[in-house]
Structure 1
Amino acid sequence: MEEPGKRTVECAEAVAWLTAQGVLAGCSAVTSLPDVSEFPALTLAGWKQWFIQAAALVMAKVPPEGVSVFYQTDVKHEGTWVDKGYLVSRAAEEAGCELLFHKVVCRRPPGTVTFGRPAYSHLLGFSRGVRLDLSQATADVLPEAGEVTWTRGMGVQACLAACRFIQAHTATRTVVDPFCGHGTVLAVANALGLDAVGVELSRKRAKKARALHLTPEFDLSPSHRF
C-alpha cells in the first residue's frame, strides 16, 4: 500500500486560478469541465467557446512531461448532440497537444436507452511531450465508471484509470483538478501515493473535497490498472 499523498484544495474560480499560475511544474491534470446547464447566462455557442478556452488553458499549464486527462459526458441539447470529446480535441489543437488515448467509459450497460445524457463518457489524455509505444496499448472500453459521490462527479474507476496512467507513463507526481467538485480525483490520487491540488468555486463542495477519502475496502489492486 502506498503512503497517502498530500492534498490542497483552493476555493476559487478555476479559470482565474489557472490564469494566475505559471506552468504547473511536476504536475499532470485530471478533470471534468462543467456542463452548459451550469452556465444559465450563456448560450450554447457561448458555452462551447468558454469550454474550449478553459480546456486549452488547463493543457497550457501542464508541463510537456505531464498529461492532461479529461472525463466528459456528452449532452443532448434541444434536439442536438453536443460532443464534448470533439470540443476537448479542438482545445488540444490550440494548446499544441497530441492525443495519447481516447477511451469510452460505460456509464450504463450496453443496449441501454438514455435521454439527457448518453450511456458512456469520454476519457481523453493529451500531452505535448509524452508519447506511447504501440506495445503499451490498453483496452479502449472501460466497463464501468465506478461509484460517484454526486451526480456530476467522475466515477472512482475512471479516476483510478487516469491516475494509474500518470503513475505509469509520466514523471509527474502531483495531480491537479481545477474543477474538483467533491474531490474524487484528489482522493484517488492520494490513495495511490500521489499529491493532489484541487480548485472548487463552491465553499460547500471545497469543504467536502478536503475531507473525502476512499473507503478502506476499495480495491486498488493491479487488476484495475489502466
Structure 2
Amino acid sequence: MADVPTRSPLAPRRTVHAGDGVAWLESASLPADHAIVTSLPDASELPALGPEGWRSWFVEAAERACRAVADEAVAIFYQTDVKRDGRWVDKAFLVQLAAERAGSGLLWHKIVCRVAPGTTTFGRPAYAHLLCVSRGLRLLPGQSSPDVLPVPGAMTWPRAMPLEACAAAARFLLAHTRCRAVVDPFCGLGSMLAVANAHGLDAIGVELSRQRAERARALALPAA
C-alpha cells in the first residue's frame, strides 16, 4: 500500500512521490477525507501507446481515479480537448465514460476559458473542461456555482492546470465536501498541490519524472 500521510492539525503538508500515477492509485487506499484533483496526460505525452492505445489508457486511468476515492469524496478532472486527423478528441466524454464504469455520477461540468471568447484557435479549443464526479455525494440546487470560469489564471508550465481552475476545485472541496487533502496522481510541477496548500489543504502528488517531482515539492505560488 502506498504511504498516505494524514492531515496535519497545524499546517498543510505536501508529499510528492516519484513514480507512475496509475500504479500508485492501484496500491493506494485513500481515506474518506481525500479527493483526487488531476489532469491526465495527453496522447502527445505517451506517444508509444498510439491514439487508440492512449484512449484505452486514459479511460482506464480515469476509472481508477474515480474508484480510488471514497463514496462521499470526489474526483475532479481538468482536461483540454485536442484535434487529431480533423476530428476532436472529446476528453470530457472520456472522463464521463470512465466515471460511468466506476459507478460515479457527474456533479458539475465547468468550462474554463483558455483564451478570450470569440478567439479562433487551432489544434486545441479555446476552452478546457473541469469535471467533478462522485459515487455517493449529491449537491442541492442551492449549492450550484458558476459554470464558466472566464479567466483561467496563470500556468506554471505549458501542461499545467491553470491556477484559477485549481482554486475553484479547492474552494469546492472546502465548501461542499469533507475532503481536506488533495491527491494529484499526475501532478507535473505541482500547481494543484501548491494551490491546495494555499487553501489549507494537505496535498499528495505523484509524478513520473523525478526532476519534475523534485520541483513539485518546492513549487511556490507567484505573488498575487
Class of the TM-score when normalised by the shorter of the 2 chains: over 0.9
Equivalent positions of 1:118-137 (< 5 A) are 118-137=125-144
TM-score (norm 1): 0.93
* Structure 2 match to 1:113: 120
Q: Indicate the SS of the match to 2:213.
A: helix
Equivalent positions of 1:74-153 (< 5 A) are 74-153=81-160
* Structure 1 match to 2:23: 16
Dislocated runs of 4+, deviation >4 Å: none
Q: Is residue 176 of structure 1 aligned with residue 183 of structure 2? A: yes
Separation in structure 2 between the aligned mates of residue 54 and residue 138 of structure 1, nearest angstrom: 28
Count of aligned pairs between the two proteins: 215
Query: Which residue identity lines up with residue 124 of structure 1 in the other structure?
Result: L
- The gaps in structure 1 that reach 5 residues or longer are 219-226
* Structure 2 match to 1:223: none
* Structure 1 match to 2:77: 70
- The gaps in structure 2 that reach 5 residues or longer are 1-9
1:22 Cα offset (Å): 2.2
* Structure 1 match to 2:202: 195
* Structure 1 match to 2:211: 204
Task: Give CA deviations for 1:43-75 in whole Å, capped at 9, x if unaligned.
Answer: 211111100000000010100121100000000
Equivalent positions of 1:42-53 (< 5 A) are 42-53=49-60
Alpha carbons 1:4, 1:191 under 8 Å: kept: no
Separation in structure 2 between the aligned mates of residue 28 and residue 22 of structure 1, nearest angstrom: 12
Alpha carbons 1:4, 1:192 under 8 Å: kept: no
Task: Give CA deviations for 1:158-183 in whole Å, capped at 9, x if unaligned.
Answer: 00000110111111111000000000
* Structure 2 match to 1:60: 67
Query: Which residue identity lines up with residue 101 of structure 1 in the other structure?
Result: W
* Structure 1 match to 2:35: 28
Task: Give CA deviations for 1:2-33 in whole Å, capped at 9, x if unaligned.
Answer: x7410000001011111111244320010000
Alpha carbons 1:23, 1:60 under 8 Å: kept: no
Q: Indicate the SS of the match to 1:28.
A: strand
Alpha carbons 1:13, 1:200 under 8 Å: kept: yes
Q: Indicate the SS of the match to 1:175.
A: strand
Alpha carbons 1:24, 1:61 under 8 Å: kept: no
TM-score (norm 2): 0.93
Q: Identical aligned pairs, as a percentage?
A: 57
Alpha carbons 2:32, 2:72 under 8 Å: kept: no
Alpha carbons 1:102, 1:125 under 8 Å: kept: yes
Q: Indicate the SS of the match to 2:129.
A: strand
Separation in structure 1 between the aligned mates of residue 66 and residue 193 of structure 2, nearest angstrom: 18
